[in-house]
Amino acid sequence: MPLELVLLTGLSGSGKSVALHALEDAGYYCIDNLPPDLLAAFVALEHPQHGGRIAVAMDARSATGLPQLPAQLAQLRAQGIVVRPLFLDASTGTLVRRFSETRRRHPLDQSAGPVGRQALVQTIEHERELLAGLREQAHVIDTSVLRPSQLQSTIKQLLATPEDQLTLVFQSFAFKRGIPMDADYVFDVRMLPNPHYEPDLRELTGQDAPVADFLRLQPEVLQMQHDVATFLQRWLPALVLNHRSYVTVAIGCTGGQHRSVYLAEQLTAQFAAQWTTLCRHRELDGR
């Protein structure tokens, strides 16, 4: 069994501690805040002792060594090691709120006195710039509206998928709560007939048979499913050739309860025969 290395990076306050706990629960040997220049030596040292699964968390405090990481990861892959980079992200407003609620200082803040909101925003944006290169090479998870249990579940779901195959993630969401930052493609289905205005369907979701039956009879819904599927069937093979491991397709409606949920479920089932698929419902999974 080849060694599997999960490289966990992301913005401060985005949930790396929660993610590391999920990895520990899944049987990974975890280390936090490892300097990038020690990665290869650490893997060589720890592999014989801890078997096939290691997880390493890094952040912007190691900024001077981050440019070395892509070359190191390429070398590890050349040695037959399975490398799975994960990047945790969140909106700036969410991060500001989290730091304010916990009264923690941002790790990159070097000031001696109290930090105002504007200074904290500038520090967060500076951290985004430092980590932009790592974000581009990793599977991004937007934790802005995720509860800790949702993040843990998402991590475990992703790691259960085959690494050598593209995993297609369909995610429903509500536009009123913001577009997911981890989406590779976003489809707006708010123009479709809305079950919310049917009294018998209002409290149900797109996972319930009466809502599915209602939407299945709407020509616009069937056309939307066909158009999204046609687009993905055209471009997914090109993404595979580009060595993509994960593609997240976000489908949004007003409340993230009916139309987007139904279409995410339908597309997941449609593509499951050809690709590894996952289905998430951002607004429902947190209930």
Q: Are residues 150 and 172 in the same domain?
A: no
Last residue of a domain, one of 134, 159, 184: 159
How far is 14 from 140, CA to CA, in rounded Å? 11
Instruction: Report the CATH number that the domain containing residue 99 is assigned in CATH.
Output: 3.40.50.300
The per-residue pLDDT for 287 is 60
The per-residue pLDDT for 49 is 60
Q: Taking Cα atoms as reference points, which of 85, 87, 78 lies closest to residue 2?
A: 78
Q: Are residues 85 and 221 in the same domain?
A: no
Last residue of a domain, one of 159, 181, 202: 159
The per-residue pLDDT for 20 is 94
The pLDDT profile of the chain, 287 residues, written as one tens digit per residue, is 678 999 999 999 999 999 999 999 988 999 998 888 889 888 888 665 656 889 999 988 877 778 888 888 888 989 888 899 999 999 999 999 998 888 888 888 777 555 677 888 999 999 999 899 889 889 999 999 999 999 999 999 988 888 778 999 999 999 999 999 999 999 999 999 999 999 999 999 999 999 999 999 999 999 999 999 999 999 999 998 887 889 999 999 999 999 999 999 999 999 999 999 999 999 997 66
Question: What does the block give as tokens for 184?
Answer: 């590779």
How far is 97 from 72, CA to CA, in rounded Å? 35
The per-residue pLDDT for 242 is 83
Last residue of a domain, one of 112, 140, 159: 159
How far is 79 from 5, CA to CA, in rounded Å? 12
Q: Are residues 11 and 153 in the same domain?
A: yes
The per-residue pLDDT for 48 is 57
The per-residue pLDDT for 114 is 58
How far is 30 from 57, CA to CA, in rounded Å? 8
> Which domain covers residue 188, as residue numbers?
167-285
How far is 267 from 226, CA to CA, in rounded Å? 9
User: Which burial class, exposed, middle or buried, applies to 110 when counting CB atoms under 10 A from its CB (0-12, 13-18, 19+)?
Assistant: exposed
The per-residue pLDDT for 253 is 98
Q: Are residues 181 and 150 in the same domain?
A: no
Task: Say if CB 252 and CB 186 are below 8 A apart.
Answer: yes
Amino acid at 42: F
The per-residue pLDDT for 50 is 57
Count how many domains the chain has. Answer: 2
The whole-model pTM stands at 0.85
